[in-house]
Protein backbone atom coordinates (compact mmCIF):
# COMPACT_ATOMS: atom_id res chain seq x y z
CA UNK A 1 0.00 0.00 0.00
CA UNK A 2 1.30 3.42 -0.93
CA UNK A 3 0.42 6.91 0.27
CA UNK A 4 1.37 9.79 -2.04
CA UNK A 5 1.81 13.36 -0.86
CA UNK A 6 4.21 15.81 0.71
CA UNK A 7 5.27 15.44 4.34
CA UNK A 8 4.53 19.04 5.40
CA UNK A 9 0.90 18.93 4.21
CA UNK A 10 -1.45 18.93 7.22
CA UNK A 11 -3.91 16.60 5.49
CA UNK A 12 -1.13 14.14 4.67
CA UNK A 13 -0.01 14.31 8.32
CA UNK A 14 -3.55 13.50 9.46
CA UNK A 15 -3.72 10.52 7.11
CA UNK A 16 -0.32 9.21 8.20
CA UNK A 17 -1.24 9.62 11.87
CA UNK A 18 -4.57 7.83 11.33
CA UNK A 19 -2.90 4.95 9.48
CA UNK A 20 -0.18 4.63 12.14
CA UNK A 21 -2.84 4.69 14.87
CA UNK A 22 -4.59 1.79 13.17
CA UNK A 23 -1.33 -0.13 12.81
CA UNK A 24 -1.50 0.06 9.02
CA UNK A 25 1.89 0.16 7.33
CA UNK A 26 2.17 2.14 4.12
CA UNK A 27 5.01 3.15 1.86
CA UNK A 28 5.15 6.95 1.67
CA UNK A 29 5.90 8.50 -1.72
CA UNK A 30 7.07 12.08 -1.25
CA UNK A 31 6.25 14.12 -4.35
CA UNK A 32 8.95 16.66 -3.43
CA UNK A 33 11.69 14.01 -3.36
CA UNK A 34 10.48 11.50 -5.93
CA UNK A 35 8.20 13.48 -8.23
CA UNK A 36 5.50 11.66 -10.16
CA UNK A 37 5.91 9.46 -13.19
CA UNK A 38 3.60 9.83 -16.15
CA UNK A 39 2.36 6.22 -16.04
CA UNK A 40 1.13 6.58 -12.44
CA UNK A 41 -0.62 9.87 -13.16
CA UNK A 42 -2.25 8.41 -16.27
CA UNK A 43 -3.44 5.38 -14.29
CA UNK A 44 -5.07 7.69 -11.73
CA UNK A 45 -6.77 9.66 -14.49
CA UNK A 46 -8.27 6.43 -15.81
CA UNK A 47 -9.69 5.71 -12.35
CA UNK A 48 -11.05 9.12 -11.40
CA UNK A 49 -11.83 12.46 -12.99
CA UNK A 50 -9.10 15.06 -13.32
CA UNK A 51 -11.21 17.50 -11.30
CA UNK A 52 -10.83 15.15 -8.32
CA UNK A 53 -7.06 15.00 -8.68
CA UNK A 54 -6.35 18.69 -9.25
CA UNK A 55 -6.79 20.68 -6.05
CA UNK A 56 -8.33 23.87 -7.36
CA UNK A 57 -8.60 25.29 -3.86
CA UNK A 58 -4.91 24.95 -3.00
CA UNK A 59 -2.16 27.54 -2.97
CA UNK A 60 -0.42 26.16 -6.05
CA UNK A 61 -3.58 26.40 -8.16
CA UNK A 62 -4.40 29.86 -6.84
CA UNK A 63 -0.87 30.99 -7.69
CA UNK A 64 -1.19 30.02 -11.34
CA UNK A 65 -1.81 32.76 -13.90
CA UNK A 66 -5.50 32.98 -14.82
CA UNK A 67 -4.75 32.06 -18.42
CA UNK A 68 -3.05 28.84 -17.27
CA UNK A 69 -6.00 27.90 -15.04
CA UNK A 70 -8.43 28.44 -17.89
CA UNK A 71 -6.33 26.18 -20.12
CA UNK A 72 -6.89 23.20 -17.80
CA UNK A 73 -10.12 21.88 -19.27
CA UNK A 74 -9.46 18.17 -19.70
CA UNK A 75 -7.41 15.22 -18.48
CA UNK A 76 -4.60 15.85 -20.98
CA UNK A 77 -4.03 19.41 -19.76
CA UNK A 78 -4.42 18.30 -16.14
CA UNK A 79 -1.82 15.56 -16.65
CA UNK A 80 0.74 18.05 -17.94
CA UNK A 81 0.11 20.35 -14.97
CA UNK A 82 0.26 17.49 -12.44
CA UNK A 83 3.61 16.34 -13.82
CA UNK A 84 5.00 19.88 -13.85
CA UNK A 85 3.67 20.95 -10.43
CA UNK A 86 2.98 17.94 -8.22
CA UNK A 87 1.85 20.26 -5.42
CA UNK A 88 -1.32 20.95 -7.42
CA UNK A 89 -2.44 17.35 -6.82
CA UNK A 90 -5.02 16.85 -4.08
CA UNK A 91 -3.35 15.03 -1.22
CA UNK A 92 -2.93 12.42 0.02
CA UNK A 93 -3.60 9.68 -2.51
CA UNK A 94 -3.98 6.17 -1.16
CA UNK A 95 -3.17 3.40 -3.61
CA UNK A 96 -2.87 -0.37 -3.46
CA UNK A 97 -1.57 -2.52 -6.31
CA UNK A 98 -2.17 0.30 -8.79
CA UNK A 99 -5.74 0.86 -7.63
CA UNK A 100 -6.54 4.33 -6.35
CA UNK A 101 -8.44 3.80 -3.09
CA UNK A 102 -8.99 7.38 -1.98
CA UNK A 103 -8.04 10.98 -2.78
CA UNK A 104 -7.74 13.34 0.18
CA UNK A 105 -8.23 12.26 3.78
CA UNK A 106 -11.44 11.51 5.58
CA UNK A 107 -11.31 9.27 8.66
CA UNK A 108 -14.75 7.79 7.97
CA UNK A 109 -13.79 6.92 4.38
CA UNK A 110 -10.52 5.37 5.52
CA UNK A 111 -12.41 3.34 8.14
CA UNK A 112 -14.67 1.95 5.42
CA UNK A 113 -11.68 1.07 3.25
CA UNK A 114 -9.85 -0.77 6.02
CA UNK A 115 -12.87 -2.13 7.92
CA UNK A 116 -15.50 -2.73 5.22
CA UNK A 117 -17.83 -4.67 7.54
CA UNK A 118 -18.27 -1.76 9.96
Burial grade of 34 (CB within 10 A; 0-12, 13-18, 19 or more): exposed
Rounded CA-CA distance 31/44 in Å is 15
Smallest Cα–Cα separation from 12: which of 91, 109, 110, 89? 91
Task: Please report the pLDDT score of residue 33 as a whole number.
Answer: 97
Beta strands in 6-112 (DSSP E): 27-30, 93-96, 99-103
pLDDT single digits (tens) 47-85: 999 999 999 999 999 999 999 999 999 999 999 999 999
Confirm if 15 and 105 have CB atoms less than 8 A apart. Answer: yes
Q: What is the pLDDT of residue 97?
A: 94
- Domains of the chain by residue range: 2-114
pTM higher than 0.85 for the full model? yes
pLDDT (mean) for 26-38: 97
Q: 2-114 has which CATH code?
A: 3.40.30.10
Res. 118: pLDDT tops 70:
no
Mean pLDDT value of segment 37-55: 98
Q: Is 9 a catalytic residue?
A: yes
Q: How confident is the model at residue 116 (pLDDT cuts 50, 70, 90)?
A: confident
pLDDT at 38 over 60: yes
Q: What's the confidence (pLDDT) of residue 115?
A: 86
Give the integer Cα–Cα distance in Å for 58 and 9.
Answer: 11
Q: Which of 1, 4, 8, 9 is catalytic?
A: 9
Amino acid sequence: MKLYGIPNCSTVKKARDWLAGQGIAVEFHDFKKHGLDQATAQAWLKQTDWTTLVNRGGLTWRGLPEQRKQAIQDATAALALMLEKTSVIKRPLLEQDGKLLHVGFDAAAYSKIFNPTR
